[in-house]
């Protein structure tokens, strides 16, 4: 039952609201839970994330529990004025260990529980539906939702230790891993399967196709230099020119754009990021003046002689901090932004 119901809502595992879930069985009289229940919120129990189902997906699930030990659940769309548009999933229920256990005909099961006065259905993977007797529909702020999703993703990235992927380790050769990092940079994030032929100094890189792009097969050469850097080359068949990745360049680039955990090199990284986007000017850490509005936000004024340009900046702190700079382009009326994580 969990998998059948959760499939429709798998893309909804994020939110702009917070709640705390402390799951303790509290049901002593099943009679209080008979009748119809609407799935009003979906929650990530581990992280405390919460979202309104009707607001984000234009519909909800109706759970019905009958006194004879039977019940059903079905999805309905709001545009259908409550008319159910999907088949019922029939189940039986019983009160076990102060929880109501729902068991579908295919043998799958889930539980309905009362936690601090809120009725919850366990959807698996530490995800829960919060039920109510009346349907609740809240207006969805998509901008806020997307921002919350980005914030959650960036916090996870910033708190994940990450070594320089372009560094070669001669004591434990990692040639395939370094080439894979080059290919990921080349393709702006796609993963390639790498195979190397040490005897011939060649490699292959294969990326499976998907609904948006065709499969790709690349054949090239590589070398491990005397000072332990990996260099690779191949011919771009589509455009007919040579692609080259030099170890010294990419190791240094990673280091140049990496913010230290104590944030002590933020001016250095801002200068490097700005210089890479402004080929007419040169910046150093000494040419950057930070004006903080908080510990993680502010403005950065960069000077090159009489020329000055100002960016807004923000930082997601952590083991591997993420630094973002942006400015408002009055001519094009939009705000481009860059972060050090992607520039590495």
pLDDT of residue 82 exceeding 80, the answer is no
Q: What is the pLDDT of residue 296?
A: 96
Structure tokens belonging to residue 258: 């990496």
Taking residues 315-337, report their average pLDDT.
96
Give the Å distances, CA to CA, from 271 to 40, 158, 262, 336: 48, 20, 18, 17
pTM of the model: 0.64
Determine what percent of the chain is predicted with pLDDT higher than 90.
Answer: 71
Helices 175-186, 247-256: axis angle to 10 degrees equals 70
For the ranges 68-82, 92-106, 289-303, 327-341, which has the lowest average pLDDT? 68-82
Decide: 247 and 168 in contact? Cβ < 8 Å: yes
Decide: 3 and 10 in contact? Cβ < 8 Å: no
Backbone angles phi, psi at 31, to 5 degrees: -60, -30
Q: What is the pLDDT of residue 21?
A: 41
Taking residues 36-54, report their average pLDDT.
83
In tens, the pLDDT along 291-325 reads 999 999 999 999 999 999 999 999 999 999 999 99
Decide: 116 and 21 in contact? Cβ < 8 Å: no
Neighbours of 344 (CB within 10 A): 19
H helices present in the chain, as ranges: 2-6, 53-57, 142-158, 175-186, 247-256, 266-277, 340-343
Decide: 274 and 343 in contact? Cβ < 8 Å: no
Structure tokens belonging to residue 5: 């119901």
Structure tokens belonging to residue 260: 């230290």
Q: What is the pLDDT of residue 244?
A: 97
Structure tokens belonging to residue 232: 């690779």
Q: What is the pLDDT of residue 86?
A: 56
Better-predicted residue by pLDDT, 36 or 27: 36
pLDDT of residue 25 exceeding 90, the answer is no
Better-predicted residue by pLDDT, 188 or 102: 102
For the ranges 16-25, 44-53, 54-63, 199-208, which has the lowest average pLDDT? 16-25
3-state secondary structure 79-140: HHCCCECCCCEEEEEEEECCEEEEEECCCCEEEEEEECCEEEEEEECCEEEEEECCCCCCCC
Q: Which residues contact 303 (CB under 8 A, 6 or more apart)?
A: 283, 287, 289
In tens, the pLDDT along 134-156 reads 999 988 777 777 787 788 889 99
pLDDT of residue 6 exceeding 90, the answer is no
Where does residue 323 rank: exposed (0-12), middle (13-18), buried (19+ CB within 10 A)? buried
Backbone angles phi, psi at 166, to 5 degrees: -95, 0
The helix or strand, by DSSP H or E, that contains position 4, with its residue range, turns out to be helix 2-6
Among 254, 284, 255, CA closest to 270:
284
Decide: 2 and 123 in contact? Cβ < 8 Å: yes
Determine what percent of the chain is predicted with pLDDT higher than 70.
Answer: 89
Query: Would you place residue 329 in the very low, low, confident or very high pLDDT band (cuts 50, 70, 90)?
Result: very high
Q: What is the pLDDT of residue 284?
A: 96
Decide: 233 and 240 in contact? Cβ < 8 Å: no
What CATH number has the domain spanning 2-140? 2.40.128.280
Query: Would you place residue 220 in the very low, low, confident or very high pLDDT band (cuts 50, 70, 90)?
Result: very high
Q: What's the rounded Cα separation, in Å, for the pair 246 and 73?
A: 58
Q: Which residues contact 101 (CB under 8 A, 6 or more apart)?
A: 93, 94, 95, 109, 110, 111, 112
Neighbours of 225 (CB within 10 A): 12
Better-predicted residue by pLDDT, 145 or 72: 72
Give the Å distances, CA to CA, from 147 to 54, 102, 132, 299: 20, 36, 28, 20
For the ranges 30-34, 62-66, 75-79, 213-217, which has the lowest average pLDDT? 75-79
- Full DSSP string of 181-201: HHHHHHTTS---EEEEETTTT
């Amino acid at each position: 039952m969990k998998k059948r119901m959760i499939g429709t809502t798998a893309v909804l595992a994020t939110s702009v609201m917070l709640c705390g879930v402390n799951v303790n069985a509290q049901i002593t009289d099943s009679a209080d839970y008979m009748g119809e229940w609407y799935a009003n919120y979906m929650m990530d129990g581990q992280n405390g994330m919460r979202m309104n189902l009707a607001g984000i997906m234009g519909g909800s699930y109706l759970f019905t529990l009958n006194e004879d030990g039977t019940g059903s659940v079905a999805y309905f769309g709001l545009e259908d004025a409550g008319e159910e548009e999907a088949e019922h999933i029939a189940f039986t229920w019983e009160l076990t260990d102060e929880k109501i256990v729902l068991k579908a005909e295919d043998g799958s099961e889930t539980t309905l529980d009362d936690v601090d006065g809120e009725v919850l259905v366990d959807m698996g993977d530490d995800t829960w539906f919060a039920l109510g007797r009346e349907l609740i529909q809240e207006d969805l702020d998509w901008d806020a939702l997307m921002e919350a999703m980005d914030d959650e993703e960036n916090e996870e990235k910033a708190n994940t230790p990450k070594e320089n992927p372009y560094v070669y380790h001669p004591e434990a050769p990692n040639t395939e891993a370094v080439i894979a990092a080059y290919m990921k940079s080349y393709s702006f994030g796609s993963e390639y399967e790498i195979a190397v032929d040490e005897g011939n100094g060649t490699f292959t890189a294969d990326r499976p196709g998907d609904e948006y792009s065709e499969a790709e097969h690349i054949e090239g050469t590589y070398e491990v230099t005397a000072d332990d850097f990996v260099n690779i080359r191949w011919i771009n068949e589509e455009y007919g020119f040579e692609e080259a990745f030099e170890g010294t360049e990419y190791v240094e680039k990673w280091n140049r754009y990496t913010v230290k955990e104590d944030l002590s090199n933020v001016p250095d990284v801002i200068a490097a990021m700005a210089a890479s986007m402004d080929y007419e000017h040169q910046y150093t850490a000494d040419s950057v003046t930070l004006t903080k509005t908080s510990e993680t936000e502010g403005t950065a004024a960069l000077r090159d002689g009489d020329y000055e340009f100002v960016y807004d900046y923000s930082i997601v702190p952590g083991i591997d901090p993420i630094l973002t700079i942006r400015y408002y382009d009055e001519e094009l009326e939009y705000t481009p932004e860059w972060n050090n994580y992607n520039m590495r």
